[in-house]
A and B are shown apart, each in its own frame.
Chain A
Amino acid sequence: MPLWQSIPFASVMLPLAGAAVTAALPPRASRRWAGALMAVVWGLSVGLIVCLLTGGGSFTYPMGHLGAPWGNELRAGPLEALLASLFSGVMLLSLLGGADKLREDLTPGRQPFYSVLLLLTLAALMAQVYTNDLFTAYVFVEIITLCGCGLIAARSGTGKSLSAAARYMVMNLIASALFLLGVILLYDLTGHLLMDPLRGAVQVLAADPARELPLTMVVALLCVSLAIKGALWPFHTWVPDAYSTATPTGAAVLSSLVCKAYLILLLKVLTRVITPEVLAAVQADQVLFLLGIAGMLMGSLHAIHQRELRRMIAWSSVAQVGYIFMGFGLRGGLGMGASVFHMVSHAVCKSMLFLAADALIRASEGHEALRNLRGAGHRAPLAGVCLSAGLLSLVGIPLLGGFVSKLNFVQAAIAAGGIREPIALAALAVSTLLHIFYCVRAVLLIWSQPEQPLTAPAPRIPWRAGLALGALLVLNLALGCLAPPVWTVIQSGLAVIG
């Protein structure tokens, strides 16, 4: 086995082993150590993409002496490598961009433990991306869930973040219980936990009419639990408070990475264990499709009503998750590909939006309400440009990642054909209109002249935040202008995943 095939193993074990030590470091050093580990994982993942594209195909890596079906296993292909580099890179930028705010929001005693949680989240995200085993996925889902609770509740001095964390915990614990039950039922029916042998066993099950109800139940439990965790409407109730009260790093990590990790797990379950044919046989793809469309519309409708910038961005996440589920529900490989591309573009966009929103709020004496942010773009130009770019990307303006995303969805809808084509196209059109309402309104607002100029000079954006915002802006533009290579990686990854 060539050494580069150990990269998935290293991406999981480095942050996992590094996290324990972080607890004993002073606050500043703990952040630097966490950032350094994220950078290393990012570098390794980029290397893995290169190796996989030149070496070709995908490979499995046994965690121990034995592979499937006896021991735990990791599996890596181009898609997994792309997502791993995305997750580690965006997490590094989120930490960099929010580091200064982190120092204000958290008491020094809490900061090292916050770094521990970030590192363990990274390890669990990597495990989620690479794992080939459903029970391992459950254990690392739990790590992400508990880390998320810490990331929300860590902000000192607000009761709002505590109550948001409580709501988050309720919904996520329900989802965990349902996911565990689904995995166990599946194990009971097939006797396997690894995805490769499960796939064959599920095919056998699907042919047996006596097992139709249990199989439907398994699909329902797995889909619903991951939909709750991934914040699909109507299971999104914990999202707006959680995203809008967490410290910017936490909000960026939760909205752009954690939620995507659950969706990736669902994608792996749907393509590798429950194949699209079985999904269609139990009618689950229609449910996913309709719920996705409902989410697209409801998320945007609620976003229009919001009077606070961060809540508006949080609600917009609900709409974006709807898009992704709609893609899962569209038959054919194009729908999945469009969903994955949307995950990538949304991850890059949402983290930038949360960081930029925070910088704008700080430039406006800490006022969160949209009406008080009038003219904030003039006070913090870089943040204003980033927020505008992010919001316009959500609308789908060309040259930005969101445009390519929407184009992919339209192509997938046309390729799907049947009754889904007109429904999906109409939903895309209406949702784009709704996006224009709230996104363009916010962009115009932050660039219009303020009614009363603020007396105090606006604080400068710290260089770290500036660097992170700039990098994310470049990434957004790159996704919009140079989409074909990313699309090629996604397509080749999806081709070998199933």
Chain B
Amino acid sequence: MKGANNRWLEQGDDALDRLIAERIDSPVPETPAPRPPRKRRVRTVHIPHALYLALALLLCLGIIGALMQTTARLPSFGNPDNPTNNEVSRRYLEQGLEETGAVNLVAGMILDYRAFDTLGESNVLFVAICAVIILLRLQQGEARPDDTAWEPRHDLILRTVGRLVVPLVLVFGIYVILNGHLSPGGGFSGGAVIGAGLILCRLAEGGERMGKVLSFRTFRALSTGALSFYALSKAYSFFTGANRLPSVITPGVPGRIFSAGLIPYLNIAVGLVVACTMYALFTLFRKGDL
């Protein structure tokens, strides 16, 4: 393990040295070069350590003090008469079951009443994965230190336990997603569970095998498909809702697995996006590709 570590560092330094050498050795251009910009003084302020500590402490105490003063003047904790327990939350609690069909009232709130926020939230995840792909995915002809060299290979304990645990984790994740409108859970939490299962599976079975099952193309197809479905189905429900058009989506019988209108399908879409994103984040940090 230690050897691999050192080798990696050495390689990195070699690459850096080569880069510096290239810079130094590059021939001076012979064309009448424009005058180089005047030398600028490198001006950086390094805060002395003691001053830095004092500053940090002062800032920390200032922020905390001001906010604590504010908190002390807020409505008191756990009081049913607080302004937040108003007609809005009352409607979510009393008519949520009837209007959305979801037994889990939080799921009904985030995927029906305030679904626009949640749509934005899934797109935040998509933005993050796009930015990480831009930053970390290996481009053609680019070499980067590969963390997979550190991964244990054919580790008996890891593989055996992995084979036992991974199916259970995946099944549990699917259960959490499918019951998102009936019990605590939903697309985000279930998706995170499945993502963890996939990462464990990759660690146990090795990157090569897992890379064949869930390649970059598969990942891209799954997340774009799920997100497009999410956006289009929500667009339909926003449009029909705002224009008071008859909609094919009905709350159904609360408590059944096929009820609560779009919510279970949205949970599945969100779960797919979250699971793919978690797994892709792991592998992108690990080796720069899926």
Contacts and interface: CB of A to CB of B under 8 A. Distances in A.
A and B touch in the complex (CB under 8 A): yes
Interface of A: 1, 6, 9, 13, 16-17, 19-21, 23-24, 61-66, 69-72, 107-110, 113-114, 116-117, 120, 123-124, 127, 133, 135-136, 139-140, 142-143, 146-147, 149-150, 153-154, 156, 181, 185, 187-192, 201, 210-211, 213-214, 217, 307-308, 364-365, 367, 369, 371-372, 451-452, 454-456
A369 B91 CA distance: 62
Q: Considering the complex of A and B, which 3 residue pairs feature the smallest CB-CB distances, nearest first?
A: A150-B131, A17-B231, A72-B116
B117 A139 contact: yes
Contacts of A217: 66-67, 70
Contacts of B130: 23, 113, 116-117, 120, 150
Interface stretch (B34-42, B159-167, B170-178, B252-260): B34-42
Interface stretch (B3-11, B144-152, B187-195, B238-246): B238-246
Interface stretch (B47-55, B78-86, B200-208): B78-86
A75 B84 CA distance: 24
Interface string B20-64: 000000000001101101101000000000000000000000000
Interface of B: 31-32, 34-35, 37-38, 40, 66-67, 69-70, 73-75, 82-89, 91-92, 99, 112-117, 119-121, 123-124, 126-128, 130-131, 133-135, 137, 139-140, 220-221, 223-224, 227-228, 231-232, 235, 237-239, 241-244
- The A interface is mostly helix, strand or loop, or mixed, namely helix
Given A116-B127, A120-B130, A307-B37, 7 more contacts: A66-B241, A71-B113, A72-B113, A113-B133, A139-B117, A189-B75, A201-B83
15 contacts: A6-B242, A9-B242, A23-B220, A64-B115, A147-B127, A156-B139, A188-B75, A191-B88, A201-B83, A210-B73, A213-B70, A214-B73, A307-B40, A452-B32, A455-B31
Contact of B242 (A62, A214, A452): A62
B83 A365 contact: no
A1 B228 contact: no
A143 B70 contact: no
A189 B115 contact: no
A291 to B, nearest CB: 19
A299 B241 CA distance: 48
Nearest to B243: A1
B34 A367 contact: yes
Contacts of B66: 217
Contacts of B124: 139, 142-143, 146
B247 to A, nearest CB: 9
A185 B66 CA distance: 13
Contact of B83 (A17, A23, A114, A188): A188
